[in-house]
Amino acid sequence: MPSINDFAIKLANVNGTGSASANGLLMQTIFRMGIPVAGKNLFPSNIQGLPTWYEIRVSGAGYGARALDYDLMVAMNAQTYAKDVQEVRSGGYLLYDSTWPLPKELHRDDVKFLGVPLSEMLTKTVPEPRTRILLKNIMYSGSLAALLNLDMEIVEELIRESYGKKQALLDANRQALHQGYEYAKANLECPLPFRCEKMDANRDKILIDGNTATALGAIYAGATVAAWYPITPATSVMDAFKAFADRYRVDPETKKNNYAFLQAEDELAAIGMVIGASWAGARSFTSTAGPGISLMSELIGLAYYAEIPAVIFDIQRTGPSTGMPTRTQQSDIMMCAYASHGDTKHILLFPSNPNECFDFAVKSFDLAEQFQTPVFMLSDLDIGMNDWVVDRLRWDDNYKPNRGKVLTSEELDSIKTYYRYSPEDADHVAARTLPGINEKGTYFTRGSGHNRLGGYTETPSEYQEVMHRLLKKHWSVAKYVPEAVIERKYGATFGIVTVGGCDLACREAIDILDADGIPVNYMRIRGFPFGPEVERFIMDQPFCYVVEQNRDAQLRALLTLETRVPKDKLQSITAYGGYPLSAKSVVEGIHHKRDQKHIATQDLAVMAE
Amino acid sequence: MPSINDFAIKLANVNGTGSASANGLLMQTIFRMGIPVAGKNLFPSNIQGLPTWYEIRVSGAGYGARALDYDLMVAMNAQTYAKDVQEVRSGGYLLYDSTWPLPKELHRDDVKFLGVPLSEMLTKTVPEPRTRILLKNIMYSGSLAALLNLDMEIVEELIRESYGKKQALLDANRQALHQGYEYAKANLECPLPFRCEKMDANRDKILIDGNTATALGAIYAGATVAAWYPITPATSVMDAFKAFADRYRVDPETKKNNYAFLQAEDELAAIGMVIGASWAGARSFTSTAGPGISLMSELIGLAYYAEIPAVIFDIQRTGPSTGMPTRTQQSDIMMCAYASHGDTKHILLFPSNPNECFDFAVKSFDLAEQFQTPVFMLSDLDIGMNDWVVDRLRWDDNYKPNRGKVLTSEELDSIKTYYRYSPEDADHVAARTLPGINEKGTYFTRGSGHNRLGGYTETPSEYQEVMHRLLKKHWSVAKYVPEAVIERKYGATFGIVTVGGCDLACREAIDILDADGIPVNYMRIRGFPFGPEVERFIMDQPFCYVVEQNRDAQLRALLTLETRVPKDKLQSITAYGGYPLSAKSVVEGIHHKRDQKHIATQDLAVMAE
Amino acid sequence: MPSIAKPIVTHPSLEKNSLGLNLRAYEGAMSTLCAGCGHDSVTAAVVRAAWKLSIEPHKMAKFSGIGCSSKTPTYFVSGAHGFNSAHGRMPAIATGGGAANRSLISIGISGDGDSLSIGIGQLAHAIRRNLNIVYIIENNGVYGLTKGQFSASADIGSKSKKGEANRISPIDPVMLALSLGATFVARSFSGEKEQLVPIIEAAFKHNGLALIDVISPCVTFNDHEGSTKSYLYTRKHDYHVTDSDVVFPVDELVANISRNGHTAVTMHDGSVLHFTQTPEGYDPRDRAKVFAYLQQHQQEGKVPTGILFIDESQPDMHGVLGTTEEPLTQVPYETLCPGSGELEKLMEEFR
Amino acid sequence: MPSIAKPIVTHPSLEKNSLGLNLRAYEGAMSTLCAGCGHDSVTAAVVRAAWKLSIEPHKMAKFSGIGCSSKTPTYFVSGAHGFNSAHGRMPAIATGGGAANRSLISIGISGDGDSLSIGIGQLAHAIRRNLNIVYIIENNGVYGLTKGQFSASADIGSKSKKGEANRISPIDPVMLALSLGATFVARSFSGEKEQLVPIIEAAFKHNGLALIDVISPCVTFNDHEGSTKSYLYTRKHDYHVTDSDVVFPVDELVANISRNGHTAVTMHDGSVLHFTQTPEGYDPRDRAKVFAYLQQHQQEGKVPTGILFIDESQPDMHGVLGTTEEPLTQVPYETLCPGSGELEKLMEEFR
Ligand SMILES: Cc1ncc(C[n+]2csc(CCOP(=O)(O)OP(=O)(O)O)c2C)c(N)n1
Ligand SMILES: Cc1ncc(C[n+]2csc(CCOP(=O)(O)OP(=O)(O)O)c2C)c(N)n1
Ligand code: SF4
Ligand code: SF4
Ligand SMILES: [Mg+2]
Ligand SMILES: [Mg+2]
């Protein structure tokens, strides 16, 4: 029985050879066919010549987590043949360039080999070697279209959209596409037993990556000063912001920019610029990854202590140190929560997909200004750089930015004396003033010891008074961060707690477990400090598995420290190899844990994917 | 009844007026009289003109923690009269300059005022105003000698040691001293009811600050490359290292230095130099405070991941941000334990006094090289910059530095192939090689993803293998760090757990509680990762108070995360105003907690001293 | 009275400026620096320059890093917002502040440690961006606040208080700025108010980063014999290369030459910077020649002072960024947010 | 075969150097850079220079930061220890390495991003310290590894791949180094092996920090028309100011003038750096003149190359520090530890 809209393919290529456009073409075709689809780009930290993979999971049921068993491998990289062939599921297929005989590294008895003489066909029609390399991707896409029953009209349309104005390129691509398509139709088992059929699941959906959505959030939030230093995987937030700003933020009359885009000399400068701009009254942000946060640590403490808003998008990658810059991880949680020396605690937001990136980016600015403090939005490479099918982003025109307590010139005129850090409101926030507004509101901002009036102090009680208020202020934030998403199942005997992009894998795992007769409750945390529902959920469970993508169980650590739940309620499942999480890893992790008798605090599940 | 060798005095001055030499003179006199004594210098972050205090506690019983009630105040700073007079215990005394009438800010009925016409006497004998300012300190020291029954022979001897070669200065100081002494003898109640009597408690003791001892530890450990950036309160470690090196490390023949002293351009560079030097095979260290650690974060992760030794002396001060640079705190514990992005865990050593600073400084180098990883010794301003009476430092000439697994050229010749990260020993450490030794041992050090052979990798399983080994390596350290100091009392119903310089205040508090019929068990932690005795001690108690000097109960947090003890075993007592801890704060904190019914996780005792 | 309280910087003049404010209105809190510290004189010069230019106090934004020098913004123009940031990070903070609100009149005060050691990267890049700011380095050759270590500006051979001679080659902020393409480079001496005040005035007028290296002796740690940053040494070696004055309005200006035959430069707001003294053949607009001139005179042991270089033709940071004239902080949210309609349209591109 | 595998840098020559090693012995792992990347040519030049100088491979220490350029130490002298550190932090790491073991022959490879943006402070201070290292900046005007953003060395007007022109004033590492007192400053072009190899040789001979700014085009992101760091542009504007060669032993040297009348400089180890070509009146030992010369020629659009400045008279870092000749790593512990007797004596001072 053929399996319709439920399979996974993997494309193995060399980076810098144009495979990205073919990957996108396939993804978009399936998307436009109305079928839920997910793409994971596993690329190297290199510009040209190293192995790169792209995984496409087609799931009519809507499962978008990473698949681990591939029905079809497109093996275009000789360096990785041996490894790639092993990843095909038993009974699966492998497409290769049959210009040359089947390489011996590709041997496996339980896999079917689909040969397409790509190079041979291209050599005949395309004289220029570099163009041949690029067109090969389109050619095998044509074969895949035939094999997977893709809608060729959509494929053609997409090619037209890409190359519409460049007739020569358009023709070349079209030709390669059709050659690949025809060859497969004529010579291969088309369609394969797993294949696509049109659906209508994507009417209200878009295909977008998290970094683009984050940038759009910053635009809609009214951010005007963007400061950054290039770093993978955070760079594309800034590329997108710049592109959107050039579109939406140029004054139609004067042609002048309603934004300032500052490529800083490093991350220390980037966060400094954000702090300076926020202090002056602009909505300002930076985007970075782990190494950048390490470098920003000192100034983050300044913003915390002097109470200056700052929005930081941390697109997490695999650490420590340079680590694996093009691999994902959730390993900056603890660092961001407590960044900088001395006693500090910061607001964290955890989006799980591009749609939430958009919403939470906006929320970041609101919270940063409301609480006059740094806010970290912790995205990651998987969310940020992969293409996700999510609900269309929506905007409520009634939205008014929450600029927090900022005294206007008139308000200043009406009060007797202004002090920076008092009086405080119920959330322990005091009103700030902006420079350039009114002499009555001027004060001296400092990272050194200060009292509730804003004056310099070295007196313990005065210093402590401010520090204690900061702690209470932090706790007040709990009711303003996005609530945890909680789903309960009848008869559940334990819960899964997770965060960010683990969402899809955990939900799928829960369905799998449910099908196995193991109902599981679910909570996805979306903000820190934790709202009361977080503690309540955990308390309600006999115990929970905390699923996360780092070695040291950092979310569990934060839950342990910042809620009152007993430690033995929280058991840890981690997968930190750098690839997006799969449901299989979660399910296996849970089975593995359930088999263990004793669960030691420091016993971390180490699983290689 | 007079109170012998049991009182506290406080000297209130303006900084930059030479009061430090008088403070030292008094301290050393009492020390040489064989009496246990402790000094606490409460100085401003400023060079000249702001209030500064010095507290001297004389305690025949050997209590060296900060006192909070002063028997005698030496009020030499008009700016702080009003505040200073309030700190005298009821029935206590205040010494002032009676050249002018008693200032009205100094009014209190229950305090006795001792007037000495300091300025008047000086104006008569000393023509130069700046000299007068300096000599005033010596003059009131003379009065104090009379009032407190100090041994004038010792005082004179000390003055001779200081000014021996400068006859004019010596004479001027002597004259001022005697004028002050004679005036007091003639006009004031001498000696006061609290006073000194010679003892013989200091035969095996020295009077030393922790930073000097730390520097000496680095010298004895054989450290050759010191890199740093000036910062209070860490600077004096380096000043002392330089002075000792100039004495012990200059080749007598060539006059060349057997050390390199690098004043770096900032802390990022300082740690970079340490890492480079350690990588090349030198014992190397830096000394800094919180802001420096924040800035070093990125490279600390590099050293962790690439497995390079590095010794960092963190002389903690009050954070966050610039905070109060001349005030003490223990607020870098969490940051140092987990410094840098990604999953990292570091070795921490916690000395409690200068003697341990010396021992643990040596230990830091041994552990850093044995485990090829950064080691933080967390001292603080109180330990580092105050003068402590401690046992003489001793050196065992049998000590051999533990350089860890480093292959010699001969060893390299004898093996087939060298790989950087395997094979590992029982402690999960692999042998390293040094540059310049043998071509067979060369490898490429990197902070990017690497496998067990040291090769570049982006493969999850290879990456995880190394990361998991690093975790196991970290756990192995537990048996090598200094064991916790544990003292049990019969009948104790709870324990006190503390760290570092809180030692004296906690022990004194335990004596006080014991006297009140409340026996308490005691544990002082000296290293992280925690040894098994730490968990065992806590498990053995119904509950423990974790006493520490930071707002967020950072030691408790670390114990919560890194042991298996249930959270409710650990209750928190914090004092974080920036002054050294007193027993009174501990006792009051405990009474306060015991009065509370419910102890919430996040309820921190905020106490103003 | 034992305390060495320093009087608030006072001036006999109660003369009013065009805003009707007297000097007092430009003063700040009482200094907590050492009596005699050069920095206090720089403070006084800033007070006077701001007063003379009739800057509205609250339009000013004062930035600094950490150090004795960085404390000084507390001591002038208390009617302005101040930001005493972190060590070496003032340039970035000021860049953000200036980016957000270009109508602020920014002044940054830093030290030789703050700007030439830990902060040299940020200084260099602020120069590149030509951030609109008066950037004063109060240069004393040491780290004052951490008790007198040599800074990167210490000359070779200059002696510490203990008598040790510096042997590492110094960074000269003036040379550095020139090589980085700075558009306004000056040097002065805290003891030379007559020269310093007009330089600060011109710096405020400059459209871009105006770097002023002010030799400002540290009386506590670097004012002894053997120091090349002492009052005595500086006074002895101070060599006025240029003197200048800002004049408005523009009338007598012909082809960049002022009445007296010296160079004149028209500033951004139309006022004119008249050089009242320049050496024969010295053109403060010729970077290469200025560099060579300084190199030569410094080799001879001189400390050349004055406005040494100026290029008023370069765009400042906002010019480069093409930012709107209105401060970004004042662009209404409605203008900034594209609204739901645009988003709906945009979503079609993600299908 | 779809993969673009690049061959190991090969050379026809199997000639042996004085250690009996051929070029191969100085090669490294296969490059993973883009085909045609300028950095691979710099790698080849380093290989050749190290071979020519008969450097014992394991005596060499290779340092780098992060970037495409910083990857290259993997591609040469695999018999040497290498340290691929963190972005912008190579100078400090190399300083530590050199401090610990002065017998190491250090080479640092960096990029314009690595050294002029995030790392400019460390570069500046390594120059000041005159660390003994060959410091190569593989300068392509962009951040290659992060996909082509302008770096701080991008010229005004140089266009990005998308066509946007840079408007921020560039940092020229040569000018910067000159203004910071660097003792060896050179520029070359990755496409000019004949010039580059001898420069690297001389740099290895130099006692101190030898800065070589090598224009090394990024074929993927900055080799298009409109870029001033493309192969085409650089080839067209390359202007050999000096050519030079290292010769040993010293015999024909008279008063710093070599046979042909050009400058000659005696290096630390006694070998001689002969300038084989210098313009009339150009003295590579006169900092001010070199600066002026470069300023002028760069204004004319030239890219002046060669060893531009050298001062062999300054002490290197160890000279300044007065460190013992023996590498500190080899001083026996017994010499370092004062022992219990000294400690007992010392304790008396703390009473
Ligand atoms: C990150 C960091 N490192 C070190 C310090 C300590 N520190 C404070 S001021 C200062 C140097 C100040 O020198 P300079 O800028 O020349 O100012 P001056 O006091 O001489 O006016 C240093 C190193 C700090 N505050 N922060
Ligand atoms: C702290 C930190 N910030 C950012 C990055 C990302 N990053 C990697 S390489 C690079 C720039 C490299 O540019 P350059 O030094 O010119 O080398 P090229 O690739 O051009 O040779 C950047 C910004 C990083 N690795 N670390
Ligand atoms: S220490 Fe030096 S720089 Fe600091 S205030 Fe005193 S004199 Fe000025
Ligand atoms: S991206 Fe540019 S710098 Fe990097 S390897 Fe490719 S060509 Fe070279
Ligand atoms: Mg200074
Ligand atoms: Mg580059």
pLDDT in tens, D100-111: 999 999 999 999
Secondary structure string (H, E, C) spanning B271-294: HHHHHHHHHHCCCEEEEECHHHHH
Pick from A273, A394, A448: CB nearest C95: A273
- Measured distance CA(B172)–CA(D201) in Å, rounded: 65
Helices first, then strands: H and E counts in chain D: 12, 13
Q: Average the pLDDT over D156-170 and give the result.
A: 95
Query: pLDDT by residue (tens digit) across B203-227?
Result: 999 999 999 999 999 999 999 999 9
Tell me, in angstroms, the distance from the centre of ligand 4 to residue A48's CA: 8
Check: complex ipTM more than 0.85: yes
- Measured distance CA(A411)–CA(D341) in Å, rounded: 73
Q: Quickly state the pLDDT bin for D255 (edges 50, 70, 90).
A: low
Q: Where are the alpha helices (DSSP H) in chain C?
A: 38-52, 68-71, 90-100, 112-116, 120-129, 173-179, 193-205, 231-237, 287-299, 317-321, 333-336, 339-347
Which pLDDT belongs to residue B105?
87
Which of D137, D140, D146, D230 best tests ligand 4's pocket when mutated (most atoms within 8 Å of CB)?
D140
Least confident of A462-476, B514-528, C1-15, D98-112: C1-15
Pick from C3, C68, C117: CB nearest B14: C3
- Measured distance CA(C197)–CA(C44) in Å, rounded: 9
Query: pLDDT by residue (tens digit) across B380-410?
Result: 999 999 999 999 999 999 999 999 999 999 9
Q: State which amino acid sits at residue A378.
A: L
Q: Are strands B205-209 and B387-391 parallel, antiparallel or unpaired?
A: antiparallel
Residue D288, C-beta contacts closer than 8 angstroms, at least 6 positions apart: C291, C292, C295, C296, C299
Q: Average the pLDDT over B416-430 and give the result.
A: 97
Secondary-structure percent of chain A, ordered helix, strand, coil, rounded to 5? 40, 20, 35
Q: Where are the alpha helices (DSSP H) in D87-192?
A: 90-100, 112-116, 120-129, 173-179
Helix, coil or strand: residue A129: helix
Residue A182 has pLDDT above 60, yes or no: yes
- The larger pLDDT score, comparing residue D268 to residue B489, is at B489
Residue C3 has pLDDT above 50, yes or no: no
Residue C132 has pLDDT above 90, yes or no: yes
- Measured distance CA(A296)–CA(A266) in Å, rounded: 9
Tell me, in angstroms, the distance from the centre of ligand 5 to residue B285's CA: 25
Q: Quickly state the pLDDT bin for A596 (edges 50, 70, 90).
A: confident
Tell me, in angstroms, the distance from the centre of ligand 3 to residue C224's CA: 13
Beta bridge partners of B285: B226, B311
Helix, coil or strand: residue A505: helix
Beta carbon of D113 within 6 Å of any ligand 2 atom: yes
- The larger pLDDT score, comparing residue D152 to residue B597, is at D152
Rounded percentage of chain D residues whose pLDDT exceeds 70: 93
Q: Average the pLDDT over A545-570 and give the result.
A: 97
Residue D108, C-beta contacts closer than 8 angstroms, at least 6 positions apart: D62, D63, D64, D90, D91, D94, D133, D134, D135, D136
Which pLDDT belongs to residue B603?
43
Number of residues in chain D: 351
> Does A245 lie at the interface with C, CB-CB under 8 angstroms?
no
CB contact under 8 A, D169 and C181: yes
- Measured distance CA(C115)–CA(C122) in Å, rounded: 8
Query: pLDDT by residue (tens digit) across A532-542?
Result: 999 999 999 99
- The larger pLDDT score, comparing residue D52 to residue C254, is at D52
Helices B354-371 and B210-221 pack at an angle, to 10 degrees, of 40
Query: pLDDT by residue (tens digit) across B104-119?
Result: 888 899 999 999 999 9
Which pLDDT belongs to residue B600?
44
Other Cβ atoms less than 10 A from the Cβ of C13: the count is 11
- Name the burial class of residue A596, with classes exposed (0-12), middle (13-18) and buried (19+) by CB atoms within 10 angstroms of its CB: exposed
Which pLDDT belongs to residue D262?
80
Rounded to the nearest angstrom, the minimum Cα separation between C156 and chain A is 30
Q: Average the pLDDT over B128-144 and give the result.
A: 94
Q: Quickly state the pLDDT bin for A608 (edges 50, 70, 90).
A: very low
Which pLDDT belongs to residue D252?
53
Residue B495 has pLDDT above 60, yes or no: yes
- Measured distance CA(C56)–CA(C127) in Å, rounded: 26
CB contact under 8 A, A319 and B301: yes
Q: Are strands D243-247 and D272-277 parallel, antiparallel or unpaired?
A: antiparallel
From chain B, the residues in CB contact with A566 under 8 A are 566-568
- Measured distance CA(D173)–CA(B186) in Å, rounded: 74
Q: Over chain B, what is the mean pLDDT?
A: 95
Q: Average the pLDDT over B315-325 and give the result.
A: 98
Q: What's the gap between Cα C173 and its chain centre?
A: 11
Residue C8 has pLDDT above 70, yes or no: no
Query: pLDDT by residue (tens digit) across C216-228?
Result: 999 999 999 999 9
Rounded to the nearest angstrom, the minimum Cα separation between B45 and chain C is 8
From chain A, the residues in CB contact with D66 under 8 A are 322
CB contact under 8 A, D169 and C292: no
Which of C87, C90, C139, C220 best tests ligand 1's pocket when mutated (most atoms within 8 Å of CB)?
C87
Other Cβ atoms less than 10 A from the Cβ of C14: the count is 8
Q: Average the pLDDT over A357-375 and give the result.
A: 98
Question: Is the torsion defined by CA of B215, B217, B220, B221 positive or negative?
Answer: negative
Phi and psi dihedrals of B343, rounded to 5? -85, 115
Rounded to the nearest angstrom, the minimum Cα separation between B602 and chain A is 7
Query: pLDDT by residue (tens digit) across C174-191?
Result: 999 999 999 999 999 999
Which pLDDT belongs to residue A105?
87
Residue D32 CA, closest ligand 4 atom number:
5
- Measured distance CA(C3)–CA(A122) in Å, rounded: 90
> Does B229 lie at the interface with C, CB-CB under 8 angstroms?
yes
Pick from C78, C321, C350: CB nearest A261: C321
CB A276 within 8 A of CB C83: yes
In terms of CA atoms, which chain A residue is nearest residue B529? A602
CB contact under 8 A, C291 and D287: no
The answer, as to whether pTM is greater than 0.90, is: yes
Number of residues in chain C: 351
Which pLDDT belongs to residue A29?
98
The angle at the Cα of C70, spanning C69 to C76, to the nearest 5 degrees, equals 90
Q: Average the pLDDT over C22-44 and give the result.
A: 96
Number of residues in chain B: 609
Radius of gyration, CA atoms only, chain D: 21
CB contact under 8 A, B262 and D342: no
Q: What is the helix (H) or strand (E) element at residue B245, kind and residue range?
A: helix B235-248
Residue B83, C-beta contacts closer than 8 angstroms, at least 6 positions apart: none
Which pLDDT belongs to residue B315?
98
CB contact under 8 A, A17 and D35: no
Beta carbon of A217 within 6 Å of any ligand 2 atom: no
Residue C7 has pLDDT above 90, yes or no: no
- Measured distance CA(B446)–CA(D84) in Å, rounded: 5
Residue A511, C-beta contacts closer than 8 angstroms, at least 6 positions apart: none
Residue B599 has pLDDT above 80, yes or no: no
In terms of CA atoms, which chain A residue is nearest residue C103? A436
Largest CA distance in chain B: 88
First-residue to last-residue Cα distance in chain A:
30
Cα dihedral C117/C123/C128/C133 (nearest 10): -160
Beta bridge partners of B475: none
Q: Where are the alpha helices (DSSP H) in A210-289?
A: 210-221, 235-248, 267-280
Helix, coil or strand: residue A181: helix
Which pLDDT belongs to residue B596?
76
Pick from D179, D287, D320: CB nearest C176: D179
Which pLDDT belongs to residue A165?
85
From chain C, the residues in CB contact with A392 under 8 A are 344, 347
Q: What is the helix (H) or strand (E) element at residue B567, kind and residue range?
A: none
Chain A: touching chains (3 or more CB pairs < 8 Å): B, C, D
Helix, coil or strand: residue A484: coil
Which pLDDT belongs to residue A609?
33
Pick from C118, C128, C296: CB nearest D169: C128
Residue D5 has pLDDT above 70, yes or no: no
Q: Average the pLDDT over B422-443 and give the result.
A: 97
First-residue to last-residue Cα distance in chain B:
30
Residue C331, C-beta contacts closer than 8 angstroms, at least 6 positions apart: A224, A258, C324
Q: What is the helix (H) or strand (E) element at residue C277, kind and residue range?
A: strand C272-277
Q: Average the pLDDT over C5-32 and give the result.
A: 82
Q: Average the pLDDT over C333-345 and give the result.
A: 98
Lookup: tokens for D61: 């220490």
A186-213 b/e (C-beta count within 10 Å ≥ 16 → b): eebebbbebbbeeeebbeebbbbbbbbb
Residue C251 has pLDDT above 80, yes or no: no
Beta bridge partners of B446: D84
Show which of residues 465-504 on chain A sit within 8 Å of chain C, judged by CB atoms: none
Q: Quickly state the pLDDT bin for D11 (edges 50, 70, 90).
A: low
Residue B602 has pLDDT above 60, yes or no: no
Helices B167-187 and B152-163 pack at an angle, to 10 degrees, of 160
CB C228 within 8 A of CB C157: yes
- Measured distance CA(A24)–CA(A39) in Å, rounded: 9
Which of D37, D42, D149, D224 best tests ligand 4's pocket when mutated (most atoms within 8 Å of CB)?
D37
Residue A603, C-beta contacts closer than 8 angstroms, at least 6 positions apart: A572, A596
Lookup: tokens for A215: 């940038």
Phi and psi dihedrals of B486, rounded to 5? -125, 130
CB C117 within 8 A of CB A304: no
Residue A600 has pLDDT above 60, yes or no: no
Q: Quickly state the pLDDT bin for D12 (edges 50, 70, 90).
A: low
- Measured distance CA(C273)–CA(C267) in Å, rounded: 7
CB contact under 8 A, C125 and D152: yes
Beta bridge partners of D214: D138, D188
Indicate which ligand has the atom closest to the C-alpha of C34: 3
List residues near ligand 3 (CB under 6 A): B 47-48; C 33-34, 37, 39, 68, 140, 144-145, 218-221
Other Cβ atoms less than 10 A from the Cβ of B471: the count is 17
